[in-house]
């Protein structure tokens, strides 16, 4: 197995930390000079770029959250003039407003670089044909993998998501060797292929670069068996750059973070205190080279832990554990971020003053399934079947247009949804995505 940029990916930890510190200082000066939000926040905290004298001083810098991004919608956190921004991506927000990020030409080069490392880490190279079945568009998945794959010199098939039968036909007819998509979609493809009488294991396909949603070790085994491939976990988020922040190597034992570009921390989500290596907490990233959208101590709300020990693959970049959970109640269903509060606002709009509801998530035949239980309050109730049924349909349609995914709505009796200390349990996730 090759390493794309051994001069960085295998550099000594001492030299890496020197590089990280130099780049951190540059980033801090840049945001202090160009982004009033960061300058004000740092002033309030009584810290100037010069006060940061070592990497361990990072803890004196303020955190950045998704709410900060929303409050500075759309371009308030950009550190360059718009003339220099060559690309915009965005992710859908919980309450309407998107979080928007921008890239300069150099940022796109950085992104291609880290994605090239990821593809190489998954065994990909110029001779490979890669089917990019992540969505193309504002979502970073499709274009992120795309540019990295071109940079590597692979043959890119930008098929985007959906139309599964065509995906399988392309995979077979084009001699695809690498597949990039969400892990649940990979399984769905295998299922659809089986229905079509096609055995994916007999095709040249050898590896999957799978991410954008949490998955378990059991699911990996299932994917590897059903598709006859090695399945690599890739991690990324648009606020940092997109896919390519971290990826597994052939050891499949943790994801190497591109630490020369993204400085990771794990913190106690309650106190904000940094935790030592090996302790579980909330992942926090600081970008070290981003120009258009640098970000300081971004709280991902993803739970993981870090291990800096050298890896048998030859990389010295610290590894993060596969994501173990969330510090908030966000769900990822069919690759779409879903917050229970979105359901609540639909029910409130519907005239239910104190809606009691529960999201029941399951994986049915490899596809995520979301059923929403809604307790029928007196306000919603009618003695006429027609009215109650149309109420269910109305709630369903509103939720579907809010979330952008199909759901089922089940009307249930009051007190059906268990309460603990007066608070209802909003989510039942039967998929066990964070296990193993």
Partner 1 sequence: MKVKQISVFLENKAGRLADVTKILGENQINIRALSIADTADFGILRLIVSDPQKALAVLKREGLTVSETEVIAVEIPDKPGGLAGVLKDLEEKKVNIEYMYAFVGKSLENAVVIFRVEEIDCAIKLLNDSQVRLLPESKVYRI
Residue 61 makes CB contacts below 8 A (sequence gap 6+) with: 28, 42, 45, 47, 52, 286, 296, 297
Task: Pick the closest to residue 1 from 211, 222, 220, 248 (CA basis).
Answer: 248
Residue nearer to partner 1 on the CB measure, 307 or 381:
381
Between 80 and 409, name the residue whose CB sits nearer to partner 1.
409
Tokens of 99: 């979080």
Nearer to partner 1, 60 or 381 (CB): 381
CB of 415 to partner 1, least distance (A): 5
How far apart CA 264 and CA 276 sit, in angstroms, is 12
Does 275 participate in binding partner 1 (rule CB under 8 A)? Answer: no
Output DSSP code: residue 276: -
Is the Cβ of residue 325 or residue 414 nearer to partner 1 in the bound state?
Answer: 414
Query: Nearest distance from residue 399's CB to partner 1, in Å?
Result: 16
Q: d(Cα 233, Cα 121) in Å, to the nearest integer?
A: 11
What minimum distance in Å lies between the beta carbon of 363 and partner 1? 22
Cα–Cα distance between 136 and 115 in angstroms, integer? 16
Q: Mask 390-409, x = binds partner 1 (CB under 8 A)?
A: --x-----------------
Say whether 242 sits in a helix, a strand or coil. strand
Residues 6+ apart with CB under 8 A from 364: none
The residues in 357-386 that bind partner 1, with binding defined as CB under 8 A, are 375-378, 381-385
Based on the shown chain and the rule CB under 8 A, indicate whether residue 411 belongs to the binding site for partner 1: yes
The SS3 of residue 355 is coil
Judge if the upstream peptide bond of residue 74 is cis by omega within 30 degrees of 0: yes
CB of 379 to partner 1, least distance (A): 10
Task: Considering the complex, state which of residue 299 and residue 356 has its C-beta at the smaller distance from partner 1.
Answer: 356
- Is the distance from CB of 310 to CB of 295 less than 8 angstroms? no
Instruction: Write the CB contacts of 308 (distance below 8 Å, at least 6 apart in sequence).
Output: 13, 277, 318, 319
Rounded to whole angstroms, what are the CA distances from 98 to 23, 72, 75, 327? 29, 11, 11, 20
Min. distance of Cβ 368 from partner 1 in angstroms? 21
Closest to partner 1 by CB, 45 vs 390, is 390
| 8 A C-beta contact, residue 235 and residue 247 | yes
By beta-carbon proximity to partner 1, the closer residue of 173 and 384 is 384
Question: Out of 51, 71, 251, 389, which residue is the one contacting partner 1 (CB under 8 A)?
Answer: 389
**Cβ 338 to partner 1, closest distance in Å?**
22
Nearest distance, CB of residue 389 and partner 1, angstroms: 6
DSSP 260: T
**How many of the chain's residues bind partner 1 (CB under 8 A)?**
19
Q: Rule CB under 8 A: is residue 414 a binding residue for partner 1?
A: yes
Segment 160 to 179, residues that bind partner 1, using CB under 8 A? none
Comparing CA positions, the residue from 288, 239, 292 lying closest to residue 24 is: 288
- Out of 65, 106, 416, 429, point to the residue binding partner 1 (CB under 8 A): 416
Beta carbon of residue 405, minimum distance to partner 1 (angstroms, whole number): 21
Q: Using the minimum distance from each CB to partner 1, give the nearer residue, 346 or 417.
A: 417
Applying CB under 8 A, the residues found at the interface with partner 1 are 375-378, 381-385, 388-389, 392, 410-416
């Amino acid at each position: 197995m090759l390493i794309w940029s051994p001069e960085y990916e295998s550099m000594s930890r001492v030299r890496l930390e020197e590089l990280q510190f130099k780049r951190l200082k540059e980033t801090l000066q840049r945001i202090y000079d160009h982004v009033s939000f960061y300058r004000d926040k740092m002033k309030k905290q009584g810290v100037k770029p010069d006060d940061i004298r070592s990497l361990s001083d990072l803890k004196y810098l303020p955190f950045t959250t998704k709410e900060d991004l929303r409050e500075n919608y759309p371009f308030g956190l950009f550190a360059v003039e718009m003339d220099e921004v060559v690309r915009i991506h965005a992710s859908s927000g919980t309450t309407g407003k998107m979080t928007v990020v921008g890239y300069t030409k150099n940022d796109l080069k950085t992104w291609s670089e880290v994605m090239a490392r990821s593809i190489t880490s998954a065994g990909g190279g110029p001779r490979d044909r890669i089917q990019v079945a992540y969505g193309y568009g504002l979502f970073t998945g499709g274009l992120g993998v795309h540019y990295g794959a071109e940079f590597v010199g692979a043959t890119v098939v930008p098929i985007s998501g959906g139309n599964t039968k065509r995906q399988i036909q392309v995979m077979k007819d084009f001699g695809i060797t690498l597949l990039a998509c969400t892990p649940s979609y990979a399984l769905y493809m295998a299922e659809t292929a089986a229905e079509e009488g096609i055995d994916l294991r007999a095709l040249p396909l050898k590896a999957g670069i799978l991410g954008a949603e949490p998955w378990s070790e059991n699911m990996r085994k299932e994917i590897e068996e059903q598709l006859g491939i090695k399945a690599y976990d890739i991690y990324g988020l648009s606020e940092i750059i997109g896919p390519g922040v971290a990826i597994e190597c052939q050891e499949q034992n943790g994801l190497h973070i591109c630490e020369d570009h993204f400085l990771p921390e794990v913190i106690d989500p309650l106190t904000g205190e940094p935790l030592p290596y090996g302790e579980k907490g909330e992942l926090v990233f600081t970008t070290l080279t981003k120009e258009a959208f640098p970000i300081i101590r971004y709280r991902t709300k993803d739970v993981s832990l870090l291990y800096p020990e050298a890896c048998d693959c030859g990389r010295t970049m610290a590894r993060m554990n596969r994501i173990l959970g969330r510090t908030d109640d966000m769900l990822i269903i069919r690759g779409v971020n879903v917050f229970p509060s979105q359901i609540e606002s639909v029910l409130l709009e519907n005239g239910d003053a104190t809606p009691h509801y529960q999201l029941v998530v399951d994986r049915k035949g490899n596809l995520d399934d979301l059923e929403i239980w809604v307790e029928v309050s007196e306000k919603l109730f009618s003695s006429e079947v027609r009215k109650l049924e149309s109420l269910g349909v109305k709630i369903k349609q509103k939720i579907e247009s809010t979330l952008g995914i199909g759901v089922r709505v089940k009307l249930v009796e009051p007190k059906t949804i268990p309460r603990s200390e007066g608070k209802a349990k909003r989510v039942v996730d039967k998929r066990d995505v964070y296990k193993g």
